[in-house]
Structure 1
Amino acid sequence: MTRIPNGETRPTDTAERTWTLGTTPWQRIPPVGAPRARVIIDNDFSGDPDDLYQLVHHLLSPSVDIRLVVASHLRPDDPFDPSGRSAQNAAAVVRDVFARMGLTSAEVVVAGSDAPLRDRATPQPAPAVDAIIAEALRDDVSTPLFYVAGGGLTDIASACLVEPRIAERLTLVWIGGAEHDGLAGAPPNPMPIEYNLLIDPVAGQVVFGDSTIPVWQVPRDVYRQCLVSDAELRVRVAGTGPLGRYLYDEVAVVTTMIATHLGGASESYALGDSPLVLLTALQSVFEPDPSSSRYVTRPTPALGDDGAYLDVPDARPMRVYTWVDTRLMFEDFYLKLAEFGRWQSEAATGAA
């Protein structure tokens, strides 16, 4: 339930120092070399605020070239944002984050569809769909393209329905889907269909069963590993400056709300979308790959109407991550946020 900026309940903070994507003015020792990969970020930014942490982390990572930020929808009855215009609200949240960071590259923000797919053959039109296709079909670049999704799959499924050729031009990294038999068990009292898949189960069926998109999946048992403590968030996020305090406060809104329903406060929170950064921006130097995390290779299953995995003989291979390097992931985030916070604070104090 990320709060939607409206100018009344929370005026947007505009940073004094500005920058554009492709620059890193907060780094006193500049990065060496050009980005190694292109990234399209897709997330439901009006929902669980873990996506804000992923967004900021990706934007502060010079090894990837952020080409688009797709603001996608939640399911219509989602308590985080039941407005029916969650994709539009998500775009407003992203623009607010950009303003807080002094990032002027708002042209990369595109809204996805506000509704899920009606069936497996009919795309949902949206500005994001056209932009995804255009980026995937570029022939003037050779860097690999990762489509990183922390929510539903409506817009990438729609893009593939409109232009199937994009499947051979990108790799999907998706946070979502239930546990796989033989790899992990479900948590206590799980949702009947995993949260992100439930946003648009038909889109999941299109991507897994009807397309040839290569998939790197971070299923529920793995994204639930990405716990941080409240002490970490207080000291290493909120303590870094206005941007960090904003990120902390958005999580605090959720933890305060759920404390009344779950019998008390929790000292941890799952930043479950952060593996999207780990698996793309923090790959190894030699033989580039997310070499500090673990995965198994399995045939890509089809998805049933109930979200279950259905075996498909001779299906294309997919990666199913079983463990992610949370030390590397979160330590990198804390240090980048602190570095960026110092740079922003220099403007406030008049430092050179």
Structure 2
Amino acid sequence: MERRSFLGLLPAVVGAMAAPGLVRAAADQRRYRVICDNDFSGDPDGLVQLAQHLRSPSIDIRAIIGSHLHADEAWAKSDHQATDSANRARELMGVMGLTDKVPVLAGAEKAMPSMTVPARTAATDAIIAEAMRDDSLPLFYCAGAGLTDLASACLIEPRIGKRLTLVWIGGPEYPGLGLPVPGGSPGEYNMTIDVAAAQVIFNRSDIAIWQVPRNTYRRMLFSMAELEQMKAQGGTGAWLAGQIEGISAAAAGMGLKVGEAYALGDSPLVTLTALQSAFEADPSSSDYVMVPAPSIQADGTYKPNPKGRPIRVYVTIDTRLTFGDMLAKLKK
């Protein structure tokens, strides 16, 4: 919005300030509907993201879906990974005093067997119902792990593709946009949780995608010294800091030194949805490029597809905004 256009709003703003009824009406700040989908029983960065999202008044979280981890995950011994994940989300909500405020559902307990066989659950039914709802608020699907439940919902009801935007933390680096992880696997973790699901979303669906690939989410580093500050503040932040300390201690027990910084890689889900600009709403402080959606191969790598629909691939995320907002919201 140009400056002169904004100045044209001033009489209305002043009038609202003088009229208590209008001020109360303006208190509803909701801009978007959101479904949060993450492996909350794995890396605690998903719990940090969920807590920050739950404290964000500009979004209306309609459902929280606990998703599964890798089938061969060392710590994922349970046959009920998605159920465990949903229970961890409920535990966090209890800490925050938000029990029963938002439906929490367990997704599929394992990856899709193929690109044609969906895993129907209460979570997929909830996704379809929300996407097909007659609602003026746009819908974001915020996923910080695999894409099993969204892909299954898309196979069951393909019409949802035009009715939501996927914001996904996942996928390896794009050539020319990011350097591969030194010594890392070409297949990225979240992609390989369920490659068939990613193939459904990228190769076959018409869902709009905002992707945060590995080279971008690995930059979401929060120092251990900052984590100690967050813990000292008490409240939800202290509980979350304790979860990260637990993972760090477990890693140390296996001989791994985690260093002085921890990647809160799922936090861009908040930045790109709740922390958009006031006018011409968009995640304006983070940078992206538009690329044709690649075809996902069986090993989780990309094959260029010049005819693919345009998707956003984020190359930077505003860490100052993200973490400053997080610390302010998680004090209580």
TM-score using structure 1 length: 0.85
1:256, CA displacement in angstroms?
1.7
1:259, CA displacement in angstroms?
2.8
Q: Percent identity?
A: 50
Tell me how far apart the structure 2 counterparts of residues 155 and 245 of structure 1 sit (CA, whole Å).
31
Tell me how far apart the structure 2 counterparts of residues 304 and 314 of structure 1 sit (CA, whole Å).
16
Q: Match for residue 274 of structure 1?
A: 267
Q: Match for residue 214 of structure 2?
A: 220
1:108, CA displacement in angstroms?
1.2
List 4+ stretches of structure 1 deviating above 6 A.
none
Tell me how far apart the structure 2 counterparts of residues 107 and 328 of structure 1 sit (CA, whole Å).
26
CA contact (8 A) 1:42 1:70 kept: yes
Q: How does 1:277-316 map to 2 (within 5 A)?
A: 277-316=270-309
1:31, CA displacement in angstroms?
7.6
CA contact (8 A) 1:149 1:175 kept: yes
Tell me how far apart the structure 2 counterparts of residues 79 and 188 of structure 1 sit (CA, whole Å).
22
Give the letter for the 2:320 counterpart. Answer: R
Q: How many residues align?
A: 309
Q: Match for residue 245 of structure 1?
A: 238
Tell me how far apart the structure 2 counterparts of residues 304 and 53 of structure 1 sit (CA, whole Å).
31
1:30, CA displacement in angstroms?
11
> 1:136 and 2:159 equivalent?
no
CA contact (8 A) 2:143 2:167 kept: yes
* Secondary structure at 1:281 match in 2: coil
50, 57, 60: which is aligned to 1:62?
57
Tell me how far apart the structure 2 counterparts of residues 41 and 202 of structure 1 sit (CA, whole Å).
20
1:95, CA displacement in angstroms?
0.9
> 1:201 and 2:195 equivalent?
yes
Q: Match for residue 112 of structure 1?
A: 107
Tell me how far apart the structure 1 counterparts of residues 29 and 320 of structure 2 sit (CA, whole Å).
25
Tell me how far apart the structure 2 counterparts of residues 307 and 77 of structure 1 sit (CA, whole Å).
16
Give the letter for the 1:191 counterpart. Answer: S
Q: Match for residue 141 of structure 2?
A: 147
> 1:318 and 2:307 equivalent?
no
1:277, CA displacement in angstroms?
0.2
Structure 1 vs Structure 2 CA RMSD? 1.6
1:189, CA displacement in angstroms?
1.6
* Secondary structure at 2:248 match in 1: helix
Give the letter for the 2:68 counterpart. Answer: H
1:261, CA displacement in angstroms?
4.3
Q: How does 1:10-49 map to 2 (within 5 A)?
A: 32-49=27-44
> 1:72 and 2:35 equivalent?
no
Q: Match for residue 347 of structure 1?
A: none
Give the letter for the 1:257 counterpart. Answer: A
TM-score using structure 2 length: 0.90
1:32, CA displacement in angstroms?
3.3
Give the letter for the 2:75 counterpart. Answer: F
84, 90, 94: which is aligned to 2:85?
90
Which digits, 9 at most, give the CA deviation of each residue in 1:118-167, with x for residues without a partner?
Answer: 1111100111000000000001x111100000000000000000000000
CA contact (8 A) 2:186 2:301 kept: no
Tell me how far apart the structure 2 counterparts of residues 180 and 322 of structure 1 sit (CA, whole Å).
10
Give the letter for the 1:114 counterpart. Answer: E
User: Which runs of 5 or more residues in structure 2 are unaligned?
Assistant: 1-23
User: Which runs of 5 or more residues in structure 1 are unaligned?
Assistant: 1-28, 342-352
1:106, CA displacement in angstroms?
4.9
CA contact (8 A) 2:172 2:186 kept: no
Which digits, 9 at most, give the CA deviation of each residue in 1:82-113, with x for residues without a partner?
Answer: 31211000111111111111113355111100
167, 177, 185: which is aligned to 1:173?
167
* Secondary structure at 2:93 match in 1: helix
